[in-house]
Structure 1
Amino acid sequence: MTDSLKSNQWRTVDKDLHRLSRVEYATMHVSRPLVGVGVSLAFIVVAALVAGLVTGQASGALFIVAAAAFGAYMALNIGANDVANNMGPAVGAKALSMTAAIVIAAICESAGALVAGGDVVSTISKGIIDPVSVENAEIFTWAMMSALLSAALWVNIATWFSAPVSTTHSVVGGVLGAGVAAAGLSAVNWSTMGAIAASWVISPLLGGVIAAGVLAFIKWQIIYREDKIAAARRWVPVLIGVMAAAFAAYIALKGLKRVVSIDMGSALLIGLGIGLAGYAIAIPLIRRQARGLENRNKSLKTLFAVPLVISAGLLSFAHGANDVANAVGPLAAIVHAQEFGSFAGKVAIPVWVMIIGAFGISFGLMLFGPRLIRMVGSQITKLNPMRAYCVALAAAITVIVASGLGLPVSSTHIAVGGVFGVGFFREWYMERRAQQAKTNRPSSKPLPVEERRRRKLVRRSHFMTIVAAWVVTVPAAALLSGGMFAILRALLG
């Protein structure tokens, strides 16, 4: 009897412990999202403290501390949103795990920002606002703080809705709204704004067309050949050489501003030389890798996996070098205005400011990036290493083409446009094959409308959400910025 009572008591204890364990697991699950928020807040506080230590008792120190917090917040949002466009295709194609993608992107983004990030940045965001039209350094500081915070808030909102948006355009909208609030509509350079608006269309179209063109080449020259492996041995080294040339020119042109200034002609020559070297190196490597592979599409995917991983890392390096200014450009302008009591179209970025940008992008990627990486990599359309490689290659080529034509483009729009281009090309190709099959077999029944919609390879809901976010970005950031400037001026003026 005693043993029976003891046994029942232990069962009761086990049940209670099990309930406590379930409560503990549930609490951990609910609180997990708060960990990222907590780490982000800690980083923002540390950035503000660093700014306070650097500036000391200098005049305008409070402005610089507040701006450093805003800059850190913006950097976190760039990491959460923008970097997904570089790593999403590689993760969606299963060439990289999520963890490996985050580690590679964090290293390459930080290296690009710290090693090759431009130490001179256009603080008036490509000449949108005429500095002469702003009254004084204090008004200019409020305008830049409003622009920085509004851009960060908009990117944060877009990330919440899983919409990859251009952080460059967010900053542009922020500067536009604050500039109009500070100096009126006459202060805006509307021709520059028109060129930026044109890039909304140019960037994704160029990226999509080039990605679709590369995929069409791979299909017709490799995939649909009788001997796929022989065709791959012939053409994959060529594609790797083109990739090496494109990324060498891209990084020389856009990612090495701090190290050395390189014009378009020199960048293309550098790209040609490295492209030829890449082609020569790839020939024996691809032959060795192709040895013993079966003559089927699955075998071809293995040949594109390593080039895809390399291209994703190079995209992240170039992004870190080129786009870190979106986070720290306005901050650098505020530091300059408070130190010298004046403002300039271009200023040097202090090292501590660049470090805040680099670490903020890395933290934002690690804490909040997976959501957008999954969306870009697998939820718009299905990607494999070959399709993802087309997206990465299109991103580099598009930036070079646009730079040669003098067109402002967004890396976000290019990468996502490339994903859409690959998906819509596959839809067109499948529709073409279905029409050919119908011609060959006139008696076959056509598919119902609902079934044809179900078989679409690009999710229309994501397409509409992303396009709407792109269109709204500049006006939304401008309205937020104008409102914030009015509040700051009323409170502090």
Structure 2
Amino acid sequence: MTEKSNPQLRDQPEPGWQVLDRDLNRISRVELAAGYAAKPLVALGLGLVFVALAASWAALVTGGGSAGLVIVIASAFAAYLALNIGANDVANNMGPAVGANALTMTGALIIAAICETAGALIAGGEVVTTIATGIVAPESLADSRTFVIAMMAALLSSAVWLNLATWLGAPVSTTHAIVGGVAGAGIAAAGFGAVDWGSMSRIAASWVISPVLGGGLAAATLWAIHKLIIDRDDKLAAARIWVPVLIAVMAWAFATYLALKGLKHLFHVSIGHAALIGLGCAAASWLAAKPYIRHQSRGLENRNKSLKLLFQVPLVLSAALMSFAHGANDVSNAIGPLAAIVSLLHDTGNGQAGHVPLWVMVIGALGISVGLMLFGPRLIRMVGDQITRLNAMRAYCVALSAAVTVIAASWFGMPVSSTHIAIGGIFGVGFFRETVEARRMKQLTGSVGIPTMASEERRRRKLVRRSHFMTIIAAWVITVPATALASALLFLALRALQG
């Protein structure tokens, strides 16, 4: 007899353990919801702790006085900017590897944090001249106080813009952000004549050139992989021949890239010397890759899924190398203005205008890594999975195109953005796949007599998400104007506060 059939049973009170169990289930659901809602707050709190620690460290190093207070505030701004660089920019290096399932999110975060920090501390430095004086000459400003305010405005405006771009899910160029910030503050301080418009015009040209070069080269590499390996009858036999060659090309590209971007901070490296270093690494990589690919291909089926396994290790290595090079090159965006301020107010006696104190480098290096760990996963997923679908071969094409395009740009002396190149490469492989799919469907409908596909269905089958495409392009276009305007307003506000 059940409770429904017997009213007397229905009226009896429930056992105490049932009531307690139901109440505990409600509490568990509330705790789960609260924990989910609190996750962003935990990351935000840890980020604020890092900024506070950076400011405290600066206070210990510089001591008291008005100059020390200015450096402490500038250090907090630089730490905030470094956090946002780690959250936004590193996604371009790790996103393709995560999207291709060559790395887990945890593995990507650990590798990127180690390589970014190592690149910044080992090969980062000697960058103050480019950031602090290459866009706006200090002598064009009224005095040192004006220069310090301009650098602080550039730091804060760039950080706020990168924070907003990360929240919107738009990978933007941190180099362009800091350049826009320095230019805007310089214009507010001394007029349009204070800005080196030749440098600004070259940077503006790179907005278009960088993604087009990266996308075109990535698409061409994917086309070559299709012709040499994927479209062959015996895919594994073709892979044993050509995958070691592709690994050697990748080794040449990354060795040359790292020599140009990293070793140049330690000693002079010409493009010819860098290419020779790359050739040596390419030969060694080819010799090592041949037996490795032969071993890896044993027992695999003759299909595309097997080919993806052969590209996973090279893809992981390329992601790590890109992170090292990024740490060496882009740490300047976080600590360049801070180092200029420290050099002017605290280290004026050393006679080294471009000298970067170690404690300043540590703030930039750790800030990028901490920002990546706390806020990077969201943008890594977007870059790796939400623009277009990537596998190991397509992600390899993106990584290779990024390195080769930067080398070509260095050869011609053209400033480019690694962010724009990497995202352009992702767009390139996506649009290439769209073109191949459209041609295949056209041939199929013409030969078999299948009805022409409706326009709505064609739009649904697009392999590159247009919403992300438009958001990213819009963010690229307005990065420099937005940070310049924000920096100019911040400069005027800071100068008014100081009387």
TM beyond 0.5: yes
Q: Tell me, in whole angstroms, the C-alpha distance in 1 between the residues paired with 2:369 and 2:144.
A: 32
User: 1:92-241, aligned counterparts within 5 Å?
Assistant: 92-122=99-129, 124-125=131-132, 127-241=134-248
Q: Tell me, in whole angstroms, the C-alpha distance in 2 between the residues paired with 1:69 and 1:342.
A: 24
Q: Tell me, in whole angstroms, the C-alpha distance in 2 between the residues paired with 1:392 and 1:124.
A: 26
Q: Tell me, in whole angstroms, the C-alpha distance in 2 between the residues paired with 1:374 and 1:340.
A: 42
| Residue deviations 1:185-226 (CA, integer Å, cap 9, x gap) | 111111111000000001101110111111000011100000
What's the counterpart of residue 55 of structure 1? Answer: 62
Residue 9 of structure 1 and its aligned partner are, at CA, apart by: 1.8
Aligned match for 1:386, one of 382, 393, 397: 393
Moved more, 58-67 or 376-385: 58-67
Residue 342 of structure 1 and its aligned partner are, at CA, apart by: 10
| Residue deviations 1:357-411 (CA, integer Å, cap 9, x gap) | 1111111001110000000000000000000000011111010001001110001
* Gap change, CA 1:94 and 1:126, over 3 Å in 2: farther
What's the counterpart of residue 76 of structure 2? Answer: 69
Q: Tell me, in whole angstroms, the C-alpha distance in 2 between the residues paired with 1:24 and 1:152.
A: 34
Indicate conservation of the 8 Å contact 1:128/1:175, yes or no: yes
What's the counterpart of residue 286 of structure 2? Answer: 279
| Residue deviations 1:430-475 (CA, integer Å, cap 9, x gap) | 112222223434x331100000000000000000000000001000
Residue 21 of structure 1 and its aligned partner are, at CA, apart by: 1.9
Indicate conservation of the 8 Å contact 1:207/1:395, yes or no: yes
What's the counterpart of residue 78 of structure 1? Answer: 85
The reply to whether residue 481 of structure 1 matches residue 481 of structure 2 is no
What's the counterpart of residue 312 of structure 2? Answer: 305
What's the counterpart of residue 348 of structure 1? Answer: 355
User: 1:319-398, aligned counterparts within 5 Å?
Assistant: 319-339=326-346, 346-398=353-405
What's the counterpart of residue 33 of structure 1? Answer: 40
Moved over 4 A (4+): 4-7, 340-346
User: 1:236-275, aligned counterparts within 5 Å?
Assistant: 236-275=243-282
Indicate conservation of the 8 Å contact 2:132/2:340, yes or no: no
| Residue deviations 1:251-292 (CA, integer Å, cap 9, x gap) | 000012332221111001111111111111111111111111
Aligned match for 2:468, one of 462, 466, 472: 462
Residue 18 of structure 1 and its aligned partner are, at CA, apart by: 2.0
Secondary structure of 2:354's counterpart equals strand
Indicate conservation of the 8 Å contact 1:177/1:480, yes or no: yes
Q: Tell me, in whole angstroms, the C-alpha distance in 1 between the residues paired with 2:423 and 2:360.
A: 29
Aligned match for 1:43, one of 31, 36, 50: 50
Aligned match for 2:94, one of 87, 91, 113: 87
Name the aligned partner's letter for residue 382 of structure 2. Answer: M
Indicate conservation of the 8 Å contact 1:196/1:409, yes or no: yes
Moved more, 432-441 or 29-38: 432-441
Indicate conservation of the 8 Å contact 1:165/1:473, yes or no: yes
* Gap change, CA 1:369 and 1:124, over 3 Å in 2: closer
Please list every run of 5 or more consecutive structure 2 residues that lacks an aligned counterpart in the other structure. 1-7
User: Could you tell me the TM-score, scaled by structure 2's length?
Assistant: 0.95
Name the aligned partner's letter for residue 170 of structure 2. Answer: A
The reply to whether residue 448 of structure 1 matches residue 470 of structure 2 is no
Q: Tell me, in whole angstroms, the C-alpha distance in 2 between the residues paired with 1:121 and 1:180.
A: 19
Q: Tell me, in whole angstroms, the C-alpha distance in 1 between the residues paired with 2:209 and 2:182.
A: 22
Q: Tell me, in whole angstroms, the C-alpha distance in 1 between the residues paired with 2:92 and 2:132.
A: 22
Q: Tell me, in whole angstroms, the C-alpha distance in 2 between the residues paired with 1:435 and 1:125.
A: 55
- Alpha carbon RMSD of aligned pairs, Å? 1.8
The reply to whether residue 438 of structure 1 matches residue 437 of structure 2 is no
Residue 236 of structure 1 and its aligned partner are, at CA, apart by: 0.1
Q: Tell me, in whole angstroms, the C-alpha distance in 1 between the residues paired with 2:133 and 2:397.
A: 30
Secondary structure of 1:60's counterpart equals helix
Secondary structure of 1:291's counterpart equals coil
Name the aligned partner's letter for residue 440 of structure 1. Answer: S
Moved more, 4-13 or 288-297: 4-13
Q: Tell me, in whole angstroms, the C-alpha distance in 2 between the residues paired with 1:424 and 1:345.
A: 48
| Residue deviations 1:293-329 (CA, integer Å, cap 9, x gap) | 1110000000000000000000000000010010000
Residue 340 of structure 1 and its aligned partner are, at CA, apart by: 5.4
The reply to whether residue 409 of structure 1 matches residue 427 of structure 2 is no
Indicate conservation of the 8 Å contact 2:132/2:151, yes or no: no
Residue 344 of structure 1 and its aligned partner are, at CA, apart by: 9.8
Indicate conservation of the 8 Å contact 1:228/1:295, yes or no: yes
Name the aligned partner's letter for residue 472 of structure 1. Answer: I
Name the aligned partner's letter for residue 292 of structure 1. Answer: G
Q: Tell me, in whole angstroms, the C-alpha distance in 2 between the residues paired with 1:5 and 1:94.
A: 57
Secondary structure of 1:347's counterpart equals coil
Name the aligned partner's letter for residue 450 of structure 2. Answer: S
Q: Tell me, in whole angstroms, the C-alpha distance in 2 between the residues paired with 1:159 and 1:20.
A: 34
Q: Tell me, in whole angstroms, the C-alpha distance in 2 between the residues paired with 1:64 and 1:125.
A: 16
Identity of counterpart residues, as a percentage? Answer: 63
Residue 68 of structure 1 and its aligned partner are, at CA, apart by: 0.3
Q: Tell me, in whole angstroms, the C-alpha distance in 2 between the residues paired with 1:343 and 1:371.
A: 43
* Gap change, CA 1:417 and 1:344, over 3 Å in 2: farther
Residue 122 of structure 1 and its aligned partner are, at CA, apart by: 2.2
* Gap change, CA 1:78 and 1:124, over 3 Å in 2: closer
* Gap change, CA 1:346 and 1:192, over 3 Å in 2: farther
Secondary structure of 1:165's counterpart equals coil
Q: Tell me, in whole angstroms, the C-alpha distance in 2 between the residues paired with 1:29 and 1:272.
A: 50
Residue 339 of structure 1 and its aligned partner are, at CA, apart by: 2.1
Residue 181 of structure 1 and its aligned partner are, at CA, apart by: 0.4
Q: Tell me, in whole angstroms, the C-alpha distance in 1 between the residues paired with 2:440 and 2:492.
A: 58
User: Could you tell me the TM-score, scaled by structure 1's length?
Assistant: 0.97
